[in-house]
Chains A and B, each alone.
Chain A
Amino acid sequence: MLRIHRFIPASSLVLFSCWMSSLQAETNDKLQFSGFARVIAGYLNEEHGTFLGYDDSISFTEQTLLGLQLDYQVMDNLSVTGQAVARTADDSDSGIEWLYLTYTPSNAWKFKIGRQRTPIFNYSDIIDVGFAYPWISLPQQVYRGFLFPTYEGLQSQYEYVGKNISLGLEAYIGGIEREFVANGQVLDTDIDNLRGIVGTVGYQGWNFRASYHRGHADINQPELNAFSNQLRQFGFMQSADSIKTDGVGRFYQISAFYEDVDYFFRTELMQIKADLSLSPKTKGYFISGGLNFYPVSVYLSISKDTNRYLQPVAEIPTGINAQLDALAFGYQQTFSQSQDNSTLSYTAGIRWDWQENLALKAEATLLKENEGTQGLFTTRDVNNFDGQAILYQVAMEWVF
């Protein structure tokens, strides 16, 4: 069933982006409007599960969005940038993604202060700009929701360009208090002490990136906190401590990209270590290769991850009285939603750069849960689902 009523926002995005193109031409050099839009249709060939909000009906709204950016050059070396994103998905948050001042004291140095996207992985700060990458949906085993998508703080960039090699170094520090939406659930999150460092090396067609990031997250979960306090009152300290809604998350990332006029190769590996009961320890990677037949390119990707959650402790005795049994049951229940899992995906896709600023894409992804039942698919009928489905997507990607 085609969801006509949900298609309306998608079509208005297209009209709006056309209007923006004409507006752009009218602005002067100091003030620049630009933007990006994507309209994505997806279909999952599975009735017992959903993935990224897709099910067995064609949907246009899960990832369709419009982003607008405004850059104003205040002085020669000082500019202000704002970026707002409007999304059509039910459980996504729209709003200001960027709002920062850029100070460029020299060619090599750049400083940004304000609200920014956290540059954890290669595409973390341009997830919304589908035009910038070949896939329709970035490999989810690496790019699936992470804890620190945006922050408010200070970022510095340094660049060195030598005869044969170029080097880049970025470092940032900050935090944010914000509501995030994960699996349809609104999480009121306070992130502090967030910092990271990113190093890049460019050599001929190669680009290498390595980074480390850490931050302290405090997720406001009143029910879990209350339950943890209750366990504490009963003297089950280990159990109480094991339900952690705050803790430190650490991200490690390395990647190698190669590209020339004929083909491209990309691989990215990451590891997340978090001591929160809601967030698993994760290892994930993707390997992708493609061929260019300008203006068309084709690609294949494989991606895999494993997720290990904090395990419940066996501290509460059962079979003594009904109250303790209920407590033990309640405790086990809090862990039931977070089971260890491992997932695997194979993707084949094609991108056609129809115009300079407009690309059309088509992509098919075979999604498999190798282990566990809460990996890729969110809601489903467990008894009738083999943990495997194919997602078909087509997309139009604009920048203007």
Chain B
Amino acid sequence: MKYLLYFIALLGFSSWHASGANGIVVVANTQDTSITLSRQEVRNLFMGSSLSYGLKAVALPPDNQTRVMFNTKVVGLTESRIQSYWAQMRFTGRKTPPKQVANEKSVLTYLKNNQGAVGYLPANTVIPKSLTVIYTSQ
């Protein structure tokens, strides 16, 4: 019985997780809560460009599922291509990749503690009041 409950809970969790897996939100620690970005702006921000809002991107590790989803839905590139893009940027001295943190929880902690920081999370993440959603993927 205990295992069955476990199993049901697990099923429930995974379906909840799967629904969350359908979307991405981009969240910022910003004073200006009216900011909304276009997909192109988000893409550029995470590909090393700086925007006038002074936002600084923080990313998840390459094998993270949220990152894979962000690559597919927002950046529109495979992880391989993103890695070769960063090689090109680094060895031509043009841009540096965003700071990387271990997981979604660390993204939230980092965002809360750093003014101007912006990161992506699964759409179902509970976003603290101190942070602002600046982009939601379809």
- The judgment on whether A and B are partners is yes
Among the 9-residue stretches A156-164, A211-219, A279-287, A307-315, the one with 4 or more Cβ atoms under 8 Å from chain B is A156-164
User: Which of A126, A164, A297 gathers the greatest number of chain B CB atoms within 10 Å?
Assistant: A126
B92 A295 Cβ-Cβ under 8 A: no
Residues of chain A at the chain B interface (Cβ within 8 Å): 34, 36, 67, 69, 71, 81, 83, 98, 100, 102, 107-108, 110, 112, 117, 119, 125-126, 128-129, 131-133, 157, 159, 161-166, 202-205, 259-261, 264, 292, 294-295, 297, 351, 353, 356-357, 359, 399
**Which A residue sits closest to B68, measured CB to CB?**
A294
Chain B interface (Cβ < 8 Å from any Cβ of A): 38, 40-41, 44-45, 49-52, 54, 62, 71-72, 76-81, 83-85, 87-88, 90-94
CA distance A132 to B80 in the complex (A): 10
Task: State A117–B65 Cα separation when bound (angstroms).
Answer: 37
User: How far apart sit A202 and B44, CA to CA, in the bound complex (Å)?
Assistant: 9
Residues of A within 8 A of B85 (CB): 132
Chain B residue numbers with a CB within 8 Å of A129 are 87-88, 91
Known A129-B91, A161-B44; further 9 A-B contacts with Cβ < 8 A: A126-B91, A131-B87, A161-B50, A162-B41, A163-B40, A261-B77, A353-B80, A359-B84, A399-B91
- Complex interface: chain B residues within 8 A of A112 (CB): 93
* B38: chain A residues within 8 A (beta carbon): 163-164
CB distance from A135 to the nearest CB of B (A): 12
Return the contact of A100 from the options B40, B44, B77, B93 (Cβ within 8 A).
B93
> In the bound complex, what is the Cα–Cα distance between A392 and B81 (angstroms)?
24
**Whole-angstrom distance between the alpha carbons of A206 and B85 in the complex?**
14
Most buried by B among A34, A100, A162, A261: A261
Knowing A98-B93, A100-B93, A163-B40, say if A294 contacts B88 (CB, 8 Å). no
Instruction: Determine whether the beta carbon of B77 is less than 8 Å from that of A297.
Output: no
Q: Determine how close the nearest CB of chain A comes to the CB of B6; give it in whole angstroms.
A: 34
Which residues of A lie under 8 Å from residue B92 when comparing CB positions?
A: 117, 119, 125-126
9 A-B contacts, Cβ less than 8 Å apart? A129-B91, A132-B85, A133-B84, A161-B50, A164-B40, A261-B76, A294-B79, A351-B80, A356-B62
- Given A161-B49, A399-B87, A292 and B94 contact (CB-CB distance below 8 Å): no
Q: Closest chain A residue to B76 by CB distance? A: A260
Q: Which residues of A contact B76 (CB under 8 A)?
A: 204-205, 259-261
For the complex, give the distance between the alpha carbons of A204 and B44 in Å. Answer: 10
B119 to chain A, nearest CB (A): 18
Q: Which of A83, A165, A264 contacts B91 (CB 8 A)?
A: A83
| 6 shortest interchain CB distances as A-B pairs | A107-B50, A353-B80, A132-B88, A294-B78, A163-B38, A132-B87
- Taking CB atoms, residues of chain A closer than 8 Å to B78 are 261, 292, 294-295, 297
> Are A356 and B87 closer than 8 Å at their CB atoms?
no
Contact B44 A166 (CB under 8 A): yes
Partner of B50 from A98, A108, A205, A264 at Cβ < 8 Å: A108
Asked if B81 and A259 sit within 8 Å, CB to CB, the answer is: yes
